[in-house]
Amino acid sequence: MLPRLWPAVLSLGWTILAMAAAEALMAVVAFAAGDGLEGSFLIGAGIAAVIGGGMVLTNKGRRFEMSFRDAVLFTVSAWFVLPVFAAVPLLIDPIGLDPVDALFEMTSAITTTGSTVLTGLDSMPDSLLLWRSTLQWFGGFGIIGLAIVVLPFLKIGGMQLFRLESSDSGEKYLPRIRQVAAAVGEIYLVLTIVCFATYVLLGMDAFDALNHAFTTVCTGGFSTHDASFGHFQDPALRWAAIVFMIGGAIPFMTYLRLIGRGRLRERIEPQVMVFLVIVLVAGIVVVTWLTASEIYPFGEALTEGAFNTVAIITTTGYATADYSAWGAFAAVLFFIFMFLGGCTGSTTGGIKMLRYQIMGSTIVQHVRQTLYPHIVQPIRYQGRAIPNEQVVSVGVFIFLYFATFAAVAIFFSMTGLDSMTAFSAAASAVGNIGPGLGAEIGPAETYAGFTDLQKLVFTFTMVLGRLEILGVLVLLAPSFYR
């Protein structure tokens, strides 16, 4: 028996109409900038309006309350469908990308991955650059919503810990969700405005500051320059970016708790402290290596090492130097950094700190029970005992994460890529990081040299990683539709 699809179709229709409105607004930007892309964006807006409007009108008048299954179906569909409509303006002259490249670029934007096939960004039309950055910014907010609303109910990788109070059920649940989403949205917007103002005060022009504020706070990493953040030589700008990349990697629910009352220790999650310690230790190791290897003097090593370490751990993907050329030790370190990620409930990709904490506690518990078979010691997080079901879900997620990474890496190797490129590309795609390692896709390069098949697999993997793998796999289970 097929499930009812129209609630998800109706919601998707409204979302596509929102995409049409965004493209129409970008057409106004293109007209004001005089870059000649207003026609491309208007055509894209028209196509999205017709299809989205048709989806809405065919379901007009139906009253319903979206079930959780409908919400999951809509959410997963949206992450696959929206890049298609976002890519339409890129297919039309004067840009004229081929369909695979356009889809790759827009999927990378919406998933906040930051991988690109474009070169010559310094001379690209302003409206195109702003379109990429804007999509990343909205994608970052969508990721936060995904972490708050959908993933906890799918029991994905310990996300149940972020589920709202169980008392918020029935008619109380949606108002509660709306309140939390509105509050998180306000924090996201304020953080972006502060980032923009900081960049301007430190010397960026307004256009660069706006684009980079969008892509810093969402930990996306798109830039308006081929040299990425390396275009800006002022160390103060780089340290400001470090602060805001870390800010985007902290759970946005933590910001809400910080605004509330209570002891500071109770309002800051343990994973935040673990994340900050790991960033600090990783930065010290990289800076020490750069200084000891005489790659940079200490002052420059401090800025370069800290910036690029934070950019990879937070999965932002900015770069100020080709760190794959810093020696084998640095390359191995940065490859390991690709599997870390920020905090669960933030805009970052990767496995994330909460899951490493839970797995670490599970290992300690197992060792203690081996030594003392009769001991009872539940795994705790913020003073709460974590049920075995949640511990298992974390283990399942980590297994699927590395299994996906291995499968994609093997595929890339089979299609002719060298081992470093294949492994780092797979890690970058599933972790939504952006750059890889090596001469072909390193921080100084793009993915333009990939074949269409490689780009399509990379594109699918970006969405798979963004939806935390199980978010897609659950749709393949027949029981989901019953």
Helix (H, G, I), strand (E, B) or coil at 136: helix
Return contacts of 99-102, CB within 8 angstroms, 24+ apart. Answer: 100/452, 100/455, 100/456, 101/448, 101/455
Q: What are the structure tokens assigned to 368, written together?
A: 């203690």
Dist CA 119 CA 59 (whole Å) = 43
Q: What is the pLDDT of residue 172?
A: 45
Residue 437 lies in a domain: yes
> Could you tell me if residue 469 is inside a domain?
yes
Residue 123 lies in a domain: no
Residue 4 amino acid letter: R
Predicted pLDDT of residue 201: 96
Residue 20 lies in a domain: no
Cα–Cα dist 342/349, whole Å: 7
Residue 434: which domain range?
Answer: 387-481
Tens digits of pLDDT across the chain (482 residues): 345 666 778 888 889 999 999 999 999 999 999 988 999 999 999 999 999 999 888 877 666 666 777 778 888 888 999 999 999 999 998 888 999 999 999 999 999 999 999 999 999 999 999 999 999 999 988 887 776 666 666 665 555 555 544 333 444 444 566 777 788 888 999 999 999 999 999 999 999 999 999 999 999 999 999 999 999 999 999 999 999 999 999 988 888 877 766 566 667 788 899 999 999 999 999 999 999 999 999 999 999 999 999 999 999 999 999 898 898 999 999 999 999 999 988 899 899 998 898 888 888 888 888 887 777 777 777 777 777 878 888 888 899 999 999 999 999 999 989 999 999 999 999 999 989 898 889 888 899 999 999 999 999 999 999 988 887 887 777 777 66
Q: How many folded domains does the chain comprise? A: 1
Q: At what angle do helices 126-145 and 173-201 cross, to 10 degrees?
A: 140
- Residue 291 maps to a domain: no
Amino acid letter, residue 58: T
Report the candidate in 106, 143, 148 with the shortest Cα–Cα distance to residue 19.
Answer: 106
> Is-above-0.75 flag for pTM?
yes
User: Are 317 and 437 within 8 A, CB to CB?
Assistant: no
Extract the tokens encoding 362: 């599970």
Residue 150 contacts residue 77 (beta carbons within 8 Å): no
The pLDDT value recorded for residue 161 is 52
| Element (DSSP H or E) covering residue 381 | strand 380-381
Look at residue 458 in the predicted model and tell me its pLDDT.
Answer: 96
For residue 384, the cross-strand partners are 381
Q: What is the pLDDT of residue 262?
A: 58
Write down the residue that tokens 């003392």 correspond to: 372
138 contact partners, CB below 8 Å, separation of at least 6? 22, 110
Residue 346 CB neighbours (<10 A): 30
Angle at 164 between CA 161 and CA 169, to 5 degrees: 130
Q: Per the domain annotation, does 420 fall within a domain? A: yes
Query: Residue 439 is inside which H or E element, if any?
Result: none
Measured distance CA(158)–CA(324) in Å, rounded: 33
Structural domain contains residue 452:
yes
pLDDT attached to residue 389: 79
Place of tokens 């010290």: 284
Does any domain span residue 453? yes
Which DSSP category does 146 fall into?
I
Query: Which DSSP symbol is given to 149?
Result: I
